Structure 1
Amino acid sequence: MTKVFYLMRHGQTRFNEQGRIQGASDSPLTDLGIQQAQAAQAYFQENQIIFSKVYASTQERACDTAEIASGRSDYIRLKGLKEQDFGAFEGHQEYLNPHLFLDGSGYRDYFVAYGGEDNVSVYKRMEETLTAIMEEATSDDTVLVVSHGAAIGQFNANVAHNQLKRKSRFTNCCILKIAYADGKFEVLSGFNPVTSESLFEEE
């Protein structure tokens, strides 16, 4: 039995606007971030996508985005959906980030020495959490999950089967439509509701 869900990044935050490393830390949505979440809500409404279940990471920026985009306040908060922890680097400027590997391994284990997480820990907890969500869901459920840039990127690169050629980054409030069947995930499409553009060339 195939089930489908939507995996979405949160809206722009104060740290995003200031170019700061955020991770396990938190900062509120900016006015633009709220507008981005509202654009996602409009996209769902225009496509008659009504969610029966909504999940978000425990971080404020994801919770607020989930509430705006879905129009619901009864969402479920899960720690497994949190952003990667960047340890002592958090709150500092993004230009201090190390080299980003383009093979899907992100920053690998660089941040472990500074009290943060490695990429494997991130995508494994995302896989475990999303699997639990979808195992509980029925085929009639329409599910929204709101998470974070690095966490979604690691899940997409290392867990989900994705044959689509990406043409843009997973910017704030981008949405992936994902199928789940027999313990496996496959990315079906991706959309940026802010720019009204597909994330992938094949769509």
Structure 2
Amino acid sequence: MPEGAEPRRLLLLRHGQTAWNLERRIQGQTDVPLDDTGIEQAEAVAPVIAAMHPAFVRSSDLARARTTAEKVADAAGVDVKTDPRLREFDLGERAGLTHGEYASVNADEFAAFRAGRYEAAPGAESREQVEARFVPALEDALADLAPGELGVVVAHGAALKVALVAWLGWAPEAVLSLQALGNCHWVLVEAAGLDEVDQTSRGRRLVGYNRHA
């Protein structure tokens, strides 16, 4: 990118609602589809994002993200490329439980889970494991943008928050200060021109958080 070039931007979109979201049931990588409300949310956000003229749409390969991405891509006139690195945390043996059921199984473990220590669940991915796959996917998406272009990445709430904090170079505990992303809400990050890059954020700047149509 030449010095002084327009920033490249990535819009990170959480998928629409599923029945399990509504039931406060732990999804992880269980492939749960959007419910009717989730489809309506995706259809509502699609023209808003399409009006930003995205160069591409990337998505987790799980159905709830992929369907959301397809709505956005159809409105924008681009294709969807799926990437399994953008999946939600694998939440191991606790996937499928409601929050109430999880608390009944193991209250201390559930408290750790609610505090963002997802690896407390037996068989779950750690924060470091999710960062190791998700952040390179963001870097690859950013690298495919020309100066001034916008790319869209559709994924999942917990993984997006953790990866965002790591990508911006923040301390891991900063994730606790971020509000949970709503369904079909998005984050906007820009990568500054080379003359503006600093060593802390590597030129990544948080422009907007938890925005919605």
TM superposition score normalised by structure 2: 0.77
1:122 counterpart residue number: 130
Out of 115, 120, 142, which is 1:110 matched to?
120
SS at match of 1:54: strand
- Determine which structure has more spread, i.e. the larger CA radius of gyration: 2
Structure with more helix by fraction: 2
Aligned 8 A contact 1:14 1:30 in 2: yes
Separation in structure 2 between the aligned mates of residue 42 and residue 100 of structure 1, nearest angstrom: 38
Correspondence list, 1:1-203, <5 A: 1=1, 2-45=7-50, 48-71=51-74, 72=77, 74-95=79-100, 96=102, 98-100=110-112, 106-107=116-117, 109-111=119-121, 114-160=122-168, 168-181=179-192, 183-194=202-213
Distance 1:128 1:99, change over 3 A: same
Q: Which runs of 5+ in 1 are unaligned?
A: 195-203
1:99 shift after superposition? 2.1
The residue type paired with residue 106 of structure 1 is: G
Aligned 8 A contact 2:15 2:184 in 1: yes
Distance 1:192 1:38, change over 3 A: farther
Aligned 8 A contact 1:54 1:74 in 2: yes
Q: Which runs of 5+ in 2 are unaligned?
A: 2-6, 104-109
SS at match of 2:111: coil
Separation in structure 1 between the aligned mates of residue 178 and residue 116 of structure 2, nearest angstrom: 18
Separation in structure 1 between the aligned mates of residue 65 and residue 153 of structure 2, nearest angstrom: 9
Aligned 8 A contact 2:89 2:125 in 1: yes
1:108 shift after superposition? 5.1
> Residues 160-189 of structure 1, C-alpha deviation per residue, up to 9 Å, x if partnerless?
2579xx784311111111112565532111
SS at match of 2:88: coil
Aligned 8 A contact 2:88 2:159 in 1: yes
Most deviating of 15-24 and 132-141? 132-141
- After the TM superposition, which segments of 4 or more aligned residues of structure 1 sit over 6 Å from their partners? none
RMSD across aligned positions (CA): 2.5
> Residues 65-105 of structure 1, C-alpha deviation per residue, up to 9 Å, x if partnerless?
01112325721000110000000111111231622579xx8
Separation in structure 2 between the aligned mates of residue 26 and residue 94 of structure 1, nearest angstrom: 18
Aligned 8 A contact 1:161 1:186 in 2: no
